[in-house]
Amino acid sequence: MNMKHILAVSLLVLAFNSQASLITVATDNANNYGDQWSGNGGTGFDDWHFISDNASGSAGGFLANKSTQLDLNHIASNPSDNAWGSYANGDGFNQFEAYRGFAGNSLTQSGDTFNVSFEHGGINQGGAVGFVLRNQNIHNSIGDYNQQSRFEFGFIGGGQHYSIFDGQGVIDTGISYTDAGLNITFSLLSADLYQLDIFNAFDNSFIQSRNGSLMGSGNIDSVSLYNRDADISNAYFNSLSIQTNQSVSVPEPSSYLLIIMALALLSFSKRNKHS
């Protein structure tokens, strides 16, 4: 390779800047299901796994629709108007848990992001609804929902605000209960730090952003959705997705001159070679 070729290649290398870009690697919502919540809809996730404990009442999961569940509001998927529903009511402490592994798309590095939509009505005193992001995907028996927990978000019956459970303990978010639903974005800042962004599902207006430290250790490999004796009403979930950081080479605006110069040098070199 002569000097003109070397110079041209060097200019092309300088012209491109490696930038991190969020790529969606897993996505699913209730629109991907026919008439029941089961199996493995969407892409990039493992199969759903469900555990119920009907103490002296009833508990389970179902594919909810706005036409039949009048308390399902703004997290339903278009055009089906569906969401993933759960119930846990009646005598005793009834529980339902849904588990989903992240397949090969675990959250491992800064910028990796998990999204979920979450909505519920009133909750019985002592009951709770929410989700947990976990290392591994343990789902052997009822109560495994917070095994290897790294982060948890939910609402506890009798309380006034949504709560976070992380490396700092139990955090009162100050966000009051809403039946409009929440769109939640969780992003890794490092192996043990996170950022949480919370939006109102009615119009996706911003509610709150906060940073915190994770509990436990290891990659985030799964999510569990839980309804622990909410009793008074159903809890709904929808719109899971994962984005991960991937490096891509992108020309900066100021670099286009370098690209033109490099191409001109290569063209001039080829003309000289054939003359």
Looking at every residue in the chain, the average pLDDT score rounds to 88
Share of the chain above pLDDT 70, in %: 82
- pLDDT of residue 11 exceeding 80, the answer is no
Q: Which bin fits 211, alpha (ψ -120 to 50), beta or left (φ > 0)?
A: beta
Average pLDDT over residues 101-117: 98
Average pLDDT over residues 100-112: 97
| C-alpha 81 chain-centroid distance | 20
In tens, the pLDDT along 171-223 reads 999 999 999 999 999 999 999 999 999 999 999 999 999 999 999 999 999 99
Q: Domain map of the chain by residue range?
A: 3-274
Task: Give dist(CA 47, CA 41) in Å, integer.
Answer: 8
* Structure-block tokens of residue 75: 């997290």
pLDDT tier, 245 (very low <50, low <70, confident <90, very high otherwise): confident
Q: How big is the chain by its Cα radius of gyration, in Å?
A: 24
In tens, the pLDDT along 37-88 reads 999 999 999 999 999 999 999 999 999 999 999 999 999 999 999 999 999 9
How many CA atoms does the CB half-sphere of 68 hold within 13 Å? 8
Whether the CB-CB separation of 266 and 94 falls below 8 Å is answered with no
Average pLDDT over residues 247-263: 47
Q: What's the CATH number for 3-274?
A: 2.60.120.560
Q: What is the distance in angstroms between the CA of the first residue and the CA of the last residue of the chain?
A: 18
Amino acid at residue number 204? N
- Helices and strands (H, E) in the chain, number of each type: 2, 15
Task: Give dist(CA 16, CA 8) in Å, integer.
Answer: 13
pTM recorded for the entire structure: 0.84
- The more confident residue out of 267 and 98 is 98
* Structure-block tokens of residue 222: 């799964």
Tell me, what's the pLDDT at 19? 57
Q: Which bin fits 245, alpha (ψ -120 to 50), beta or left (φ > 0)?
A: beta
Nearest to 98 by CA among 87, 114, 113, 107: 87
